[in-house]
Structure 1
Amino acid sequence: MSKEIAEKIYSAFDEMSQRNTRPRRLIAERLVELANNGNDFTTDDLWQELRAIDPKIGRATVFRSIEKMVDKRLLDRIEFADGTHHYRVCGGSHHHHLTCTQCHRVVEVDLCLPADQIHAIGDQANFEIEGHSLALFGRCEACRS
């Protein structure tokens, strides 16, 4: 993951609050690690990992921080076919995810519907499309064998 993503994460935390608290630093540092490794995570797993470092870190602090990172488009919320979801630091460029229905493997794909099809959908329903997400589910190669 690029140094630019790490800077964006730290900058976003600076913008969220005037106070540079230990919990916020721990969350930001862990997000940078996850970004560097390309790992996705649940907010609950992240909270439990951080509690091992700082038992006083609040669940609400972690959950609010993650939601703010999603709002700033620094984290993607990845939906699974079973209704669960994970988060991943993806870097901000437009893309979608394939998710395995069996092992929950996540693969980023730089494929999208053509803009004219998206506009046609909006025109047909008399909507001005402001954004979209495309959820693709299936079984990865390892789970099929």
Structure 2
Amino acid sequence: MSTEIGDKILAAFEEMSQRNTRPRRLIAERLVELAQKGDDFTTDDLWQELRAIEPTIGRATVFRSIEKLVDQSLLDRIEFADGSHHYRVCGGTHHHHLTCTKCHRVVEVHLCLPAEQLHAIGDQTNFQIEGHALSLFGRCQNCRQ
């Protein structure tokens, strides 16, 4: 695994004082494959896929690793209108997601609320806004037909 995202994931594991074990390398390798395809995933599906390669890989290892990578902004957690969620390796640029309420298709949206609107919201609510997440839901073209 020589890709930049793979190196970032392994570096994140090291920063979190987690050894570079075979299970973590397998997690990183699979995440690179998913990133190259632009696919999203659930932690349970990822765990099942990895168990086919390494039967002893623990569910908790996979789940903790994914949550740590979300905390490090290497993975995005994508919320769906029905309350479920997936994860995606997105590359670190600021963006939001539009998700289909029927088929769960995910589209990256590279636009955002203007800074002055965020400041106005903070002023109106007496909050100092430190970040935001915008979730957009709808039906994709295929599901509308």
Q: TM-score, normalised by structure 1?
A: 0.95
CA distance in 2, matches of 1:17, 1:50: 22
Percent of pairs with identical residues: 81
The answer to whether the 8 A contact 2:95-2:112 is kept is yes
| Residue 93 of structure 2 corresponds to residue 61 of structure 1 | no
4+ runs of 1 displaced by more than 4 Å?
none
Q: Deviations over 1:66-87 (max 9, x none)?
A: 0000000000000000000000
Aligned position for 1:101: 101
8 Å Cα contact 1:9-1:32 kept in structure 2: no
Q: State the AA in 1 paired with 2:16.
A: M
In structure 1, what is the equivalent of residue 38 of structure 2?
A: 38
Deviation at 1:20, TM superposition (A): 1.7
| Residue identity matched to 2:38 | G
Match of residue 27 from structure 2: 27
The alpha carbon displacement at 1:11 in A equals 1.5
Quote how far apart the aligned CAs of 1:18 are.
5.0
Contact 1:79 1:86 survives alignment (8 Å): yes
1:82 and 2:82 equivalent? yes
Q: Displacement, 1:21?
A: 1.1
Q: CA deviation at 1:12?
A: 1.2
- TM (norm. structure 2) is 0.95
Quote the Cα distance in structure 1 between the aligned partners of 2:69 and 2:106: 19
Q: Distance in 2 between matches of 1:110 and 1:93?
A: 9
Q: In structure 2, do the counterparts of structure 1 residues 131 and 34 end up closer, same or farther at CA, with 3 Å as the change threshold?
A: same
Counterpart Cα distance in 1 of 2:122 and 2:16: 34
Give the length in aligned residue pairs. 144
* Paired residue type of 2:22: R
Pick which of 133-142 and 8-17 moved more. 8-17
In structure 2, distance between residues paired with 1:33 and 1:51:
16
Q: Contact 2:10/2:20 (CA < 8 Å) preserved in 1?
A: no
Change beyond 3 A, Cα 1:23–1:3:
closer
